[in-house]
Amino acid sequence: MTRSRWSDLDRPPLNAAALRKAVVVPGGLWTGLDVVESTGSTNADLAAKATQGAPEGTVLVAEEQTAGRGRLDRQWTAPARSGLFFSVLLRPGATGADGTAPVPVEQWGWLPLLAGVAAATALSRAAGVDTALKWPNDLLVTVHGEERKTGGILAERTGSDAVVLGLGINVTLRVAELPVPTAASLALAGAAGTDRDPLLRAVLRSLADWYGAWRTEHGSAERSRLQQTYAAGCATLGRTVRAELPGGDALTGTAVGVDPDGRLLISTPEGERALASADVIHIRSA
């Protein structure tokens, strides 16, 4: 028997028409929004649309992803309607609709960090849950005094001027549904509200605000205050971390900052290192 979209009353379906009316407005960043019942990966689907000429601001939301991916090709799975699974198409390499100049490609590395700032600030307000950032792209909440991951971000370049940003945020995931013990959801963190419609609207509005400020400043994370805001909300900074590097090497040190290119600065006995890519593990104090 086919399960109804309303079979789990704690997880009602998203209202696509209401979402479009709320976020697709004249002069705004978002130019279109579709909600699909199920797909393999919203990032893959939106990347295909980008190559076919989809405009900046296209948003694709899935009630369920069957082949969702995180960084390093890790799988992201969750029950249908248990979270927000969506991707947005940005074209930082093109002239903006308001005439803003293209952003230099060397600044595009800030986009997943920008998405993290936007999501964390929106969720903290809309869900009433303190949400922190783990470099480079994880969203953390606290459950029973322990930091756990409730969301992640995947940025993928598409063509010469476009980037697809994918976000996965666990909203109502229950203990028995957690893929790993270090995972969490907004509900498990004590969220005041878990209605996905206002949560998605809040994240998209925050993302549009931050992206607009960043583009206006020609991709400068400092002038747009993205760098300062990211550092203030990043739980990685000031911690002892183990960074597992591409190629299998690793280093341990203290995360001391994020540089103007979005790289994580780690202080080690051998000196300071700037990491553009790494799998970072927070090491607990003894």
| CA distance linking residue 233 with residue 125, whole number of Å | 14
Residue 1, pLDDT above cutoff 60: no
Per-residue pLDDT tens over the stretch 164-204:
999 999 999 999 999 999 999 999 999 999 999 999 999 99
Residue 286, pLDDT above cutoff 60: no
Per-residue pLDDT tens over the stretch 54-65:
999 999 999 999
Name the least confident of 2-11, 26-35, 71-80, 90-99.
2-11
Do residues 194 and 142 touch, judged by C-beta distance below 8 A?
Answer: no
Joined tokens for residue 51: 């190559």
Joined tokens for residue 100: 């803003």
| CA distance linking residue 44 with residue 29, whole number of Å | 21
Name the nearest CA neighbour of 152 among 229, 219, 74. Answer: 74
Name the nearest CA neighbour of 166 among 184, 186, 148, 152. Answer: 152
Per-residue pLDDT tens over the stretch 79-127:
999 999 999 999 999 999 889 999 999 999 999 999 999 999 999 999 9
> Which CATH architecture best describes the domain 16-232?
2-Layer Sandwich (3.30)
| CA distance linking residue 65 with residue 9, whole number of Å | 20
- Which residues, other chains included, contact 18 with Cβ-Cβ below 8 Å and sequence gap of 6+? 197
Do residues 185 and 123 touch, judged by C-beta distance below 8 A?
Answer: no
CATH of 238-282 given 3.40.50.2300, 3.30.420.40, 2.60.40.1120, 2.30.30.100: 2.30.30.100
Model-level pTM? 0.93
Helix (H, G, I), strand (E, B) or coil at 17: helix
CB atoms within 10 A of CB 231: 15
**Confidence at residue 98, expressed as pLDDT on a 0 to 100 scale:** 87
Range 228-233 contact pairs with CB under 8 angstroms and sequence separation of 24 or more: 229/117, 229/121, 230/113, 230/116, 230/117, 230/133, 230/258, 231/257, 231/258, 233/117, 233/120, 233/121, 233/132, 233/133
- Which residues, other chains included, contact 33 with Cβ-Cβ below 8 Å and sequence gap of 6+? 16, 19, 20, 23, 24, 58, 59, 60, 61
Domain chopping of the chain, boundaries = 16-232, 238-282
Instruction: Please provide residue 122's backbone torsions phi and psi, each rounded to the nearest 5 degrees.
Output: -65, -45
